[in-house]
């Protein structure tokens, strides 16, 4: 199960992805984010890919993903991608968006530090639940 929420005090969006990521997954997450009350394209975003086990997105779909950014150029997106598959995915997504504030990290602690957030925020973030065979918003 994928989860999205906002930490009001930090104006931070958090998305935790699990299972298989597809174009439908990415599209639904974007829809949910844009529909969040008070969402602005300037908000920073922590995207945790630790629970992703497979990626079902074609190269053509990757190109389409890159043309539909919901974040503005002043927003920063920190991808947490501990393994080769998710790290590669995060790099492709970051490059495709053309947003200057995108970086990929192997750990949540590194991502939070780059976003200039307190390390104790780690205590409030749930671990990805990778027991679900398919991802769904």
Classify residue 131: in a domain, yes or no: no
Q: Would 19 be classed as within a structural domain?
A: yes
- 122 pLDDT exceeds 50? yes
Q: Is residue 129 included in any domain, yes or no?
A: no
For the CA atoms of 109, 111, 112, 113, the dihedral, rounded to the nearest 10 degrees, stands at: 80
CB count, 10 Å around CB of 29? Answer: 20
Domain of residue 43, CATH code: 3.30.750.24
User: How does residue 97 score in pLDDT terms, banded at 50, 70 and 90?
Assistant: low
Strand order, beta sheet including 77-80: 3-7, 12-22, 44-56, 77-80, 102-105
Total number of domains in the chain:
1
Name the β-bridge partners of 12.
Answer: 7, 44
pLDDT score at 37: 86
Tell me: the pLDDT tens digits for 44-77? 999 999 988 888 988 778 767 766 678 787 888 8
């Amino acid at each position: 199960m994928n989860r999205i929420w906002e930490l009001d005090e930090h104006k931070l969006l958090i998305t935790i992805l699990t299972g298989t990521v597809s174009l439908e997954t990415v599209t639904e997450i974007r829809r949910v984010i844009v529909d969040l009350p008070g969402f602005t394209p300037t908000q920073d975003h922590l995207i945790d890919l630790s629970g992703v086990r497979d990626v079902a997105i074609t190269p053509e779909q990757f190109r389409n993903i890159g043309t539909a950014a919901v974040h503005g150029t002043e927003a920063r997106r920190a991808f947490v991608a501990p393994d080769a598959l998710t790290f590669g995915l995060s790099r492709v997504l970051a490059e495709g968006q053309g947003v200057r504030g995108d970086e990929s990290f192997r750990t949540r602690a590194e991502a939070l530090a780059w976003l200039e957030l307190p390390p104790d925020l780690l205590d409030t973030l749930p671990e990805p639940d990778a027991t679900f065979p398919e991802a769904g918003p």
